[in-house]
Amino acid sequence: MTEFKRIAFIGLGQMGLPMAKNLVAGGFPVIGFDAYEQARVAAAGEGIEVVSSLNEAVEGADCIITMLPNGKIVQDAVLGGHAFLKANAGAVLLEMSSSAPTDTRVLSDKVSPHLRVVDAPVSGGVKRAVSGSLTIMAGGEAEALNQAMPVLDCLASGVFACGPVGAGHAMKSINNFVSGAGVIAAVEAVTLGTAFGLSADTIIDVLNASSGKNNATDVKMKQFVLSGTFASGFALGLMAKDIGIAAELANDLGLNLSGLKQTSTVWNEAAEAIGNGADHTRIYEFLAKSSV
């Protein structure tokens, strides 16, 4: 069990709420906060102790967890009014949002030495957040990561130490680039095959039994696309944002990665056409219209 005496969990949305619940169920001393009252009410209804201000949540915390839409919002929350100074000196900040690695390093510089930052973004979606079987990609100093491991182990089935601060967020953006490219490939495969006369179900069955299998063919196409439910629990705008982070990182590093650029462009165009809040599997509708 962790030695943490107070964990401030900031961001109680679709992912944050089940993650906070799992920590409470694991015996961790969680104090929750979300900027939206509706989210705070929902969390309280799930047995999480919530407070009405960020400063109150962070006060005296020896661990802060942020699960927010992006790194800019994290910086506004943590740095605004110097809220981070209300935490105990030497506290660990687990930045679990999908943020740009450069933003994470800026944040780490600004809160050091009062806080030690570990970026620990997740993969697995709402389903695995609920089951406590997320994959976590972590970046930070070994001592801080070791201190945070009991918390991370409670939330994940696998925790990967990726390198220094920012490495976790870099890895998350790379993962979602590959995931997003796989969705496009699966959707276009179905579009091509059905135009020829194959059944969509047959296409997916063969892909899943062959070398074309990927995450989209395995757990998204039949379940959320072909069924017409489009309810995977991950927003299209978030996928576009994460892939955009990878594209920006490549640009910063002077790399010309044409596949990444094209994938980012397609997801951005889909988000603009359908809306950021739509489920990301609805890119099927965008690509279907674009194919004719």
Q: Mark whether 220 is an active-site residue.
A: no
Bridge partners of 64, per DSSP, are: 8, 93
3-state secondary structure the chain: CCCCCCEEEECCCCCHHHHHHHHHHCCCCEEEECCCHHHHHHHHHCCCEECCCHHHHHCCCCEEEECCCCHHHHHHHHHHHHHHHHCCCCEEEEECCCCCHHHHHHHHHHHCCCEEEEECCEECHHHHHHHCCEEEEEECCHHHHHHHHHHHHHHEEEEEEEECCCHHHHHHHHHHHHHHHHHHHHHHHHHHHHHHCCCHHHHHHHHHCCCCCCHHHHHCHHHHHHCCCCCCCCEHHHHHHHHHHHHHHHHHCCCCCHHHHHHHHHHHHHHHHHCCCCEHHHHHHHHHHHCC
Cis, bond preceding 29 (omega within 30 deg of 0): no
CB 254 within 8 Å of CB 226: no
Helix, strand, or coil here: 231? Answer: coil
Active-site option among 21, 86, 172, 220: 172
Residues noted as catalytic: 172
